[in-house]
A and B are shown apart, each in its own frame.
Chain A
Amino acid sequence: MPQTGSLIVRTFTSQAQLPVSGATVIISGRGQDGRHKVFSIQTTDESGGTKPFVLEAPDEALSMSPGQSTPFSNYSLVVEHPEYFLATFEQLQVFPGVETVQNVPLVPLPLPQSAGSSDSAAPVVVTPQPL
């Protein structure tokens, strides 16, 4: 019986955390057959939030003693809005029965958009706990 955890995403801009509505939020990762697939897509609401994404996670026992296989599932998250730098997150951790919360601060694109310059921010990569 596979276990699940959840992922909550909230998008905003600036230290004042002004909400960014209408951003596309894409969750992807490897399925059980090892192939990459998109698990879910949502659009942020007027408060910059989404409904919780419910995602598969491994057995909780794996996190209870050292030297076992990885006790969390990894997912990728992409947040797109035409007026902001693309935000990407790699190796997001989802543990069974735990809520993972990803705040997504979006940075406005410069104007005019100079040709050839990247419209993506550097990805956030969640490296494993040093356990």
Chain B
Amino acid sequence: MPITVTPYIPQTITVHTGPADQWAENVTVSFSDYIKNVASSEVYPTWPEAALRANILAQVSFALNRVYTEYYPSRGYDFDITGSTMNDQKFIKGRSIFGNVAKLVDELFTTYIRRKGFVEPLSTRFCNGTTVTCDGLSQWGSEALARQGRTYIEILRHYYGNNIELVSNAPIRDIAYSYPGYPQQNGSSGNYITVLQVMLNRISRNYPAIPRISPVDGIFGAQTEESVKQFQRIFNLTPDGIVGQATWYKLVFLYVGVTNLSELVSEGQPYTQIQGPATGVTLQEGSTGISVSALQYFISIIGQFNTSVPVLAIDGIFGPKTTAAVNAVQSRFGMPVTGIVNQATWQRIYDEYLGIARTALAGADLPTGTQQIRQSVQAGQFPGYNLTYGSSDT
């Protein structure tokens, strides 16, 4: 009897930025940002909305099919999809996206196409329809059909057959706070609003233009509405003061991002005084101990600031994931890619950590040298920097 696994929307997706069998950078981005990038890279934003919707739904389904079938991991690769149009869909790391496309994706990224009677997201092939043709959606054809007044469903049925259906509001995996399912606005109240207010207040610490909500009372009033509007203006969402799916998930992703960074920063306090390996000594796969923990901590901090560097579990064991991370760091900094940490690699990693600690995290008052740490310990006040929500938010 086959076991059915329900498809889900991954929180993030790892994209290999070249052909599968060639070396290229892996980039991990949120799933909605991935689709915004693909939709902006594949078609023109000036096309009729029905054509854009049809293309976005095909792009979502194609990516979810790759994730669901574990197409690349099952072949031994450490990514979910490639950014190459030869096998997958076009993705350009760091590119700009189009405002109207982004708004459609915010609405559609939890919707996918499947065949009636089947569970898996459809492997929705597509091609441009002029220089390349295929058994799937023609991008230029979809544009012409939309211009003739066809809806996006009619366009999708035209290319993928009448036995397809759309699954909406698919669950997002491991998300801290799922969308309540309907818009929250002035007059709403309850636990969702408490969560909303706590998230807004936490984000307002970094974005002082967002007014703080006080007290946090679970009631969506004029004050909460004003904070939501200001948040929407900053993050280029429609500033209507209503918390729909797009605003909710933007808030949750940012809140999770801020709390992850804060927890990492506080977790790493013991490691900032660790000395690197002496001349001739190296850390490599199989090494264990506190200096490996420190290495994992520094790499994780760097990974918070570079999408090409992974964030690691800090367990003091130099395993394959730590090797891969060291490779990524060495590649990122233009050093020989060895997966082994000698004094030069350690120093480069530490310099980068120091740059982050003294600029982007300057407000965090991170200890950056043994002398400084000793002094602060002697003063009886270890400079803890705990940003998890609590005291001042509740």
- Measured CB to CB, the residues of A under 8 A from B are 7-8, 10, 13-19, 45-47, 49, 60, 63-67, 71-72, 83-84, 89, 92-93, 95-103, 105, 107-112, 114, 124-127, 129-131
Contact = CB atoms under 8 A, between A and B. Distances in A.
Interface residues of B, number: 52
Contacts of A19: 206-207
Contacts of B41: 129
B261 A16 contact: yes
- At the interface, is chain A mostly helix, strand, loop or mixed? loop
Contact of A130 (B90, B234, B305, B360): B90
A94 to B, nearest CB: 9
Contacts of B235: 10
B99 A63 contact: no
Interface of B: 41-47, 85, 90, 92-100, 102, 128, 130, 132, 139-140, 143, 147, 206-209, 234-236, 254, 257-258, 260-262, 304-307, 348, 351-352, 354-356, 358-360
A95 B305 CA distance: 31
26 contacts: A10-B235, A13-B360, A16-B258, A16-B262, A17-B206, A19-B207, A47-B207, A47-B234, A63-B47, A64-B147, A65-B140, A66-B130, A89-B96, A98-B98, A101-B96, A101-B97, A105-B307, A107-B306, A108-B359, A110-B354, A111-B354, A112-B351, A125-B92, A130-B132, A131-B128, A131-B139
Given A10-B236, A18-B206, A126 B95 contact: yes
Contacts of A8: 99, 236
A109 B302 CA distance: 11
Contacts, number: 142
Nearest to B231: A47
Given A66-B140, A99-B99, A130-B90, 6 more contacts: A10-B235, A15-B260, A64-B147, A83-B359, A109-B359, A129-B42
Given A18-B360, A124-B93, A127-B92, A101 B207 contact: no
